[in-house]
Amino acid sequence: MKRGRRFKIGILGVFLIAVGYFCATNSGIPVKLNDVEEVSRVNNSASAGICSWNVSGWFAKGDVICGLVLEPQYKVPGWLQCLEPIGDVPPYGFVDYPHIFVYLKLLDEGGDVVSWVEMLWVNDPNAKSPLNLHLYVYNMTYIFGGSSESYFPVEVVWGTSWIVLTPEGAPHNGTYTLSVSAFGAISPPSDNPPTVIALGKRKIGYPYTYLLPLGIVLICGGLFANFVALFPYIVERKNVRRIKLKSAVKEKNG
């Protein structure tokens, strides 16, 4: 086999090994899905007779913890009687709706703040009833790990109302508590918490597992190509034997 051909086969082998290695090592890359596995929940409905402003759940290190908070049941006096008037609200700018601040604090077992979310809920008094009785999320600000840096807007799980509280994953194994509070012109009644407060973890998928067998095949092909390039005489010897055998068979049959 000519040296130039051996060189080309060797280059092909190295290329196949590199591509195969890339496929094999990336086959286990996790991907965040737009779905959340609920871990714990508090239902503060009137029928349940519960008035809790927090919920706790156990998470493993690295879990993407998510929180869910739904508006409280309408009552008088209630949240709508606690709204701030229309005006400028840093860092959200001018808010042309009556509004109230809702705070979500994620605490670890030691009581340290892992992350903090400020939600701005608004009410449109000009909407037709019963829409004017509801509160809607206007905007949010996010702080992670005790940092003073604000992230704007907050990451949410697409297509859901779940808010991502630890985008980098839970810092350690343990029980985490989501504590909710609210403040407007005055604080809402303590017996009128959000209807639902829940904790969950974002589901993780592995959509690239098919790359592992593909990578193994490519690596094997690359190793074989390099073997042929380095030891061509072995392949050539086998080819010579095969040709001689075919010639002998033809002469015998002829």
- The per-residue pLDDT string of the chain (254 residues; one tens digit each, 9 = 90 and over) reads 667 777 888 888 899 999 999 999 998 888 888 899 999 999 987 666 678 999 999 999 999 999 999 999 888 888 999 999 999 988 888 999 999 999 999 999 999 989 889 999 999 988 888 888 888 888 888 765 555 556 566 888 988 999 999 988 999 999 999 999 999 988 898 888 999 999 999 998 888 888 899 989 999 998 988 888 877 666 556 555 555 555 554 555 55
- Give pLDDT, residue 41: 94
Handedness of CA 9, 13, 16, 18 (dihedral sign): negative
* Alpha carbon distance 105, 207 (integer Å): 33
- Give pLDDT, residue 131: 83
- Give pLDDT, residue 167: 86
For residue 27, give the 3-state DSSP assignment: coil
Element spanning 118, H or E: strand 113-122
Looking at the chain, the domain(s) classified CATH 2.60.120 span 31-205
Burial class, 123, CB count within 10 angstroms (exposed 0-12 / middle 13-18 / buried 19+): buried
Contacts of 203 (CB under 8 A, 6+ apart): 32, 33, 35, 36, 37
- CATH architecture of the domain with residue range 31-205: Sandwich (2.60)
Tell me the pairing of strands 174-183 and 99-107. antiparallel
- Give pLDDT, residue 253: 59
Report the phi/psi class of residue 174: left, alpha or beta, with left for phi > 0 and alpha for psi in -120 to 50. Answer: left
Give the global pTM. Answer: 0.75
